[in-house]
Amino acid sequence: MAAAAAEAAAGGGPGSQPAAQRRLRILSGHLRGSPASRAPEAERLLSPSQCRAGGAAERPVASTIPKKRQEILKWNGWGYNDSKFIFNKKGQAEFTGKRYRLSGMVLPVLKEWMEKSLGASLEHKITSRAFLNTSEVPPSIVNEEFLQDLRATKISYSQEAEDRVFRAHGHCLHEIFVLREGMFKRIPDIVVWPGCHDDVVKIVELACKHNLCIIPFGGGTSVSSALECPADERRTIVSLDTSQMNRILWIDEKNLTAHIEAGIIGQDLERQLGESGYCTGHEPDSMEFSSLGGWVATRASGMKKNIYGNIEDLVVHIKMVTPRGVIEKSCQVPRMSTGPDIHHFIMGSEGTLGVVTEVTIKIRPIPEYQKYGSVVFPNFDRGVACLREIAKQRCAPASIRLVDNAQFQFGHALKPQVASIFTSFLDGLKKFYITKFKGFDPNELCVATLLFEGDREKVLQHEKQVYDIAAKFGGLAAGEDNGQRGYMLTFVIAYLRDLGLDYYVIGESFETSVPWDRVIDLCRNVKERIVRECKEKGVQFAPFSTCRVTQTYDAGACVYFYFAFNYRGISDPIHVYEQIETAAREEILANGGSLSHHHGVGKLRKQWMKESISDVGLGMLKSVKEYVDPNNIFGNRNLL
């Protein structure tokens, strides 16, 4: 295995380097023959990128998230240390910090909503541990010979407790609950920070030599238990943190592609591309913290996929280091007919086969015009029918998301305090018009939020087309502000779980994809199943069970569920929660839904893999694993 990894450093296997050099010489000769191509830039673009090399063809990125994540991120909750929901001395909810549009604002309705919908009370508060007690952290057990070899590579590493704990988990409910109440039984023994592809090759080679377990770490936003260390893993566990591999290596303006190191996080990628006038358009809800490599490894989807596509539509080329060597295609072309696409073995592999190190991805010029919108429908059925028709006519805006009534009420609870009497009057007028004049039932209506992007004239035409379709299903235009606020809440809503945990409320989200003819039934049956299971499991308060349609396709849609309940009086709330979530997942599958649309499988959902892809399909995946990684170096035990 060590020899195989060493081969990878030389170019991916026997004979590959001479072939690559031959192609390079031929192409260089063509370029030298063209006077327009004798510039130094041509030579640089033809040269293999060197580890930590400089040069104008590379754009080093100063990451928003530091190497020591604990400097700005919570150790036992979501997001930035300075951003959180709290109840102030007046008992009013507010969102702290200065990073978001909601920051510093008072939310006068949230307290009442929590009391009414979840039975929460400010009198029943839990105080989680303020600091990580390093004495509770399992000791680091690392082979000294491996450490000597690692030091010789000059690759940065750490055995400090905080660094290891930060990379021992994602953001599943049970993971955060454990951090608030105790500690994991098993965490990484050492964290390594490769600076480039070649560093990863060296680390994998050493892991093969010393028989270690590697768990790749990108942005840490997993909600599938993918980052949890197997409790019975006796080998040294290495957390391979890709965050220092965060450069845009080149931008090709003719082909509209960019070659990027896989550790870059979404917000840094979009900001850096934006400086050159480009974007990827890939915006998952976690884009502040999730990484390009993580998107590839989980087959991610973004809120604007209607224009830009999902990650599988955006990827042109992938380079991945495995114990057998480096996997990559020989050219960077839009499509190939060379047997099964090896990219589809890599995308969705969830760290079980190797480490994605570099990705070539499609880019687009930043759209000149962007416009938000919203439509209110009499009920959820009408809203779904409208989205179906928009998908049928293939005229969906960049993003269109439909929330049910419960989620609409929830969104209203997050509305900031109105600054003026006039604004309050206008809000009241809109509500009167919709509920009294148009006859919409406040307990039935639902709302779709819209985002249009592109050329201004085309956006306005597109907007009219969508609103005309909506009108046929009883939809009323509800304004730009509501649409924009809906998308703004996307990035702060994850912070609410930490507030809930302070008041005996646990919550989680999960998603699926489903054919159009099953959307309504699936949504209704899953929400009813959650309510029924809560009652049977002894939950004393009515649960919050809601959904939204977040992405649309020709043949179906992605449905996203939120679920929470007050666990006062329950001795083992996480066990009860897991039983209810399992029942909800069974209901999804029974109603024709998928195991996951974009969150992935991890260890959380792998019990249903055989049912989802068939016994033979699972055997195919196992065969790939056994060939690429026969000694289970990438031993996170996801998927299989």
For 622, the enclosing helix (H) or strand (E) is helix 615-628
Q: What is the largest CA-CA distance in the chain?
A: 79
Taking Cα atoms as reference points, which of 494, 400, 492 lies closest to residue 447?
A: 400
Bridge partners, 402 (sequence order): 448, 549
Residue 242: partners with Cβ closer than 8 Å, 6 or more residues away: 194, 200, 216, 217, 218, 261, 262, 263, 291, 293, 355, 357
Give Cβ neighbours of residue 423 (< 8 Å, ≥ 6 apart). Answer: none
Residue 20 in tokens: 């690559």
Q: Closest Cα to residue 152, out of 89, 225, 202?
A: 202
- Measured CA distances, 238 to 19, 188, 246 (Å): 34, 6, 20
Nearest CA-CA partner of 530 in 508, 556, 503? 508
**Which neighbouring-strand residues pair with 560?**
511, 548
The answer to whether the beta carbons of residues 303 and 385 sit under 8 Å apart is no
Distances (CA, A) of 277 to 33, 367, 457, 611: 31, 9, 20, 45
Residues 6+ apart with CB under 8 A from 442: 435
465-476 as b/e, with b when 16 or more CB fall inside 10 Å? ebeebbeebbbb
CB 449 within 8 A of CB 400: yes
Q: How far apart are CA 370 and CA 238, in angstroms?
A: 44
| Whole-angstrom distance, CA of residue 173 vs CA of residue 497 | 9
Rounded to the nearest angstrom, the gap between the alpha carbon of residue 360 and the centroid of all alpha carbons in its chain is: 19
- Is 80 a known active-site residue? no
C-alpha span between 263 and 550 (Å, rounded): 27
Query: Any bridge partners for residue 258, and if so which?
Result: 251, 361
380-392 helix and 456-472 helix, angle to the nearest 10 degrees: 130
**Cα-based angle 519, 523, 529 (whole degrees, multiple of 5):** 140
- Structure-block tokens of residue 290: 């999730």
- Residue 352 buriedness (CB in 10 A; 0-12 / 13-18 / 19+): buried
Rounded Cα gap, residues 22 and 38, in angstroms: 19
Tell me which of 100, 157, 503, 560 is the catalytic residue: 560
Q: What is the DSSP string of 456-512?
A: HHHHHHHHHHHHHHHHHTT-EE--HHHHHHHHHHTTTGGGHHHHHHTTTEEEEEEEE
Among 292, 201, 303, 188, which residue's Cα sits nearest to residue 249?
292
**Which residues lie across from 94 on neighbouring strands?**
86, 106
| Tokens 């039935």 belong to residue | 444
Check if the beta carbon of residue 375 is closer than 8 Å to that of residue 476.
yes
Catalytic residue positions, numbered: 560
